[in-house]
Amino acid sequence: MDSGQTATRLDKLQKIGGIGNWELDLATGKAVWSEGACRIFGLEPTNNIISQSEWVTFIHPADREMVVHAFKRSLATQQNYEVQYRIIRPDGSLRHAYAHVEFIITDGKPTGLYGILNDITEIVLLKNELLKSGSNLQLMMDLIPVSIYARDADGYYIFANHIFLKHYGITYEDLKGKHLRDFVRSEEEYNILLAQDQAVLTGNEKLFISEFRQANVDGKLKIWQIIKVPFTPEGHTQCAVLGIAEDITERRLNEERLEEIARTLAERNKTLEQYSFMVSHDLRGPLSTLMGMAELIRDFPLSQEDLAIFLQGARASLENIDSIVKKMNEVLAAGKQCK
C-alpha cells in the first residue's frame, strides 16, 4: 500500500467517523486542515490554510472566550488540552465539536500544535433529547445504539440500557443494587472512573472522555468515547451522573492500523534509501574498471594476448554488476511481498 492509498483510506475513515485533524505552525500562526476538519466546519477542502483569527470566527460567540482561554493557557503552560465547543458554519448551521490538542516538539522546543477534531453533534443532540424526556426514557435508551447509564453520587447504578447490560452480560434485574466497583477491572480503573464522576458532580458540568478501554464479558476489547453530564433523575433529590458511551472500537483500531502502516512505509523507505546508497557505491567499482579498460583499448594498440586479458577483466566486472542487480531485484521482490 503506497502513501496515496493510505491518505485516501484515512480521509474515508475521517468522513465516516466525523473526525478531522489540523496542524498549526506557531511561527506563522497558520494551520493546515485535513479534508475531515474542513468538512466539520463546512469549508471546501481547497480552503484548508486557516489563520488563528479566521478559526475564531467560526466558534459560537458564547463559547469563544472559553476556547480562546484554553488555547492561550495551553501555550503558556505548554500542556496538551481538550475542549468542547459549538461551531457556526458559513451556511449558518450549528455543529458541536470536541478537540484534543497536543504540542509538536522539535529539538526540545514547541514548534506547533496538532489537533484532532470530532463532530459530536449527534451525541449532544441525543443527550439533550434524553434530558428532555422522562416518561419513555428506558424505551428511548434501548432504541439508541449507544451505551447509556446513570450512577448516583455514591456510585450505585440507577438505570442502564441494553447496550450497557450486554457489555457486562447482565439483565435489568441484575443491575439492581450494583455499584461501580462491581464492573471495574482493576483498582486503578475504579479510581479513574470515580474521579471522573466526582468532577462532574462537584463542577456541575459535562465531561468528555475521548477514549475508555475495557474488555466486555467475553473478554473482547471495547473502546468507548463517553460524555458524562450531571442530572437529577425523576424521583431523586440528589444529582447523579448520566453517561452516554459510543462504541468506537472499530474506528480506533482502524486508525491504529493506518498509523502502523504509515510507520512501516516510512521505515521501508528509509531502508531502501540506505540500500540504494550501498548499491550505487558497489556499482561504482566495476563500472570504473570497465570505463578504464575502454579508454585503454581506445588509446593504445593491444596485442591479442593483452586484449584477452582485458576482456577477461571486463567479464569479471560485468558479472559483478549482474550479481549486484540480482540482489537488488531480490530485495525489491521481497518488499512487494510484504505489502
Give the pLDDT of residue 266.
78
Which class for 313: exposed (0-12), middle (13-18), buried (19 or more C-beta within 10 A)?
middle
* C-alpha 329: how far from chain center: 36
CA distance 52 to 150: 39
Average pLDDT, the chain: 82
Lowest mean pLDDT among 27-31, 54-58, 135-139, 214-218: 135-139
Question: pLDDT tens across 302-336, in order?
Answer: 666 766 766 676 667 667 766 766 766 666 665 55
Each as own residue / partner, the long-range contacts of residues 139-148 (CB below 8 Å, 24 or more positions apart, any chain) are 146/244, 146/245, 146/246, 146/247, 147/224, 147/243, 147/244, 147/245, 147/246, 147/247, 148/242, 148/243, 148/244, 148/245
CA distance 326 to 323: 5
* Interval 27-42 mean pLDDT: 92
* Domains of the chain, CATH where assigned: 3-119 (3.30.450.20), 124-247 (3.30.450.20), 258-338 (1.10.287)
* Interval 197-210 mean pLDDT: 92
Question: Is residue 179 very low, low, confident or very high in pLDDT (cuts 50, 70, 90)?
Answer: very high
* Interval 253-282 mean pLDDT: 76
Is the model's pLDDT at 295 over the cut of 80?
no
Decide: 167 and 184 in contact? Cβ < 8 Å: no
Question: pLDDT tens across 103-125, in order?
Answer: 999 988 999 999 999 999 988 88
In DSSP terms, 224 is beta-bridged to 212, 247
Say which residue, 248 or 276, is predicted with more confidence: 248
Give the pLDDT of residue 268.
75
CA distance 98 to 116: 8
Question: Is residue 92 very low, low, confident or very high in pLDDT (cuts 50, 70, 90)?
Answer: very high
Q: Read off the amino acid at residue 327.
A: K
Sheet holding 30-33, edge to edge: 49-51, 30-33, 19-25, 109-119, 94-106, 81-88
Give the pLDDT of residue 213.
93
Give the pLDDT of residue 181.
94
Question: pLDDT tens across 214-237, in order?
Answer: 999 999 999 999 999 998 887 778
